[in-house]
Structure 1
Amino acid sequence: MTQLPRAIGDQAEDQALQHLEQQGLTLITRNFQIRRGEIDLIMQHADELVFVEVRARSNTAYGDGIESITRSKRQRLIAAASAYLQRQRYDMPARFDVVAIDGQGQINWIADAFRADD
């Protein structure tokens, strides 16, 4: 039986969350959504707020998960992060991380993968 895309995404987010918690990050919220975008995980790492995009790829023939984050996707993530920061009024530095998981379950975590001004 094949899994639906949302189920695969949830499983990848669970795996990414577990990995990041093992690295010392603390979960604040999951799946923060606004009309223009969604952030998979929002975490805290020391004194930084971390917006995490999780990408799962069973086949890398068309590129890995990191390569799939287009300029348009980055803009949607930045818009969602800005909305979150305005609502929550956090006063700490923030960064965008990417967790890519391949078909074998290998995790590639890229801290500070891109910036809002890229």
Structure 2
Amino acid sequence: MRLNHRQGVAGEDAAWSFLKAQGCVLIARNWHCPFGEIDLIVKNSNMTVFVEVKYRNNRRFGGAAYSITPAKLMKLQKSAEHYLQKHGLSHAPCRLDAIFIEGNEAPKWVQNITG
């Protein structure tokens, strides 16, 4: 197992623990489709939330937030749309969020990263 993969799994574990403490319920983890992968899919109240988790050791090169490029955002949106269609949830309330973790800092939950 590569070091980056272990750190990614640890970051996803930390993000899930954080979201669980906020009252979210896990629907899926590392959900794959032809467009890509969604790290976490959770239910927050009546909202289906697609969560991208980004972990960085430090803020060099812009930190975790700068790793979500426009191309990555497009893949996440297409993946979320695919999930909704596949599960018959096309009209369900949903949003795309991110959890950013940098070093040993607490996770930062940014809601509705699509604007």
Structure 2-normalised TM-score?
0.92
Task: Give the AA of the match of 1:76.
Answer: K
Deviation at 1:59, TM superposition (A): 2.2
Segments of structure 1 that go 5 or more residues without pairing to the other structure are: none
Deviation at 1:70, TM superposition (A): 0.7
Where 2:73 maps in the other structure, the secondary structure is: helix
Task: Give the AA of the match of 2:88.
Answer: R
Task: State how 1:75-90 maps to structure 2 within 5 Å.
Answer: 75-90=74-89
CA distance in structure 2 between the aligned counterparts of 1:78 and 1:113, rounded to whole angstroms: 10
Residue 95 of structure 2: aligned partner: 95
Where 1:85 maps in the other structure, the secondary structure is: helix
Q: Which structure has greater helix proportion?
A: 2
**How many residues of Structure 1 are paired with residues of Structure 2 in the alignment?**
114
Structure 1-normalised TM-score?
0.90
Deviation at 1:107, TM superposition (A): 1.1
Residue 73 of structure 1: aligned partner: 72
Are 1:24 and 2:19 an aligned pair?
Answer: no
Task: State how 1:1-118 maps to structure 2 within 5 Å.
Answer: 4-90=3-89, 91-115=91-115
Per-residue CA distance 1:31-51 (angstroms, 9 max, x = gap): 011232110000011111000
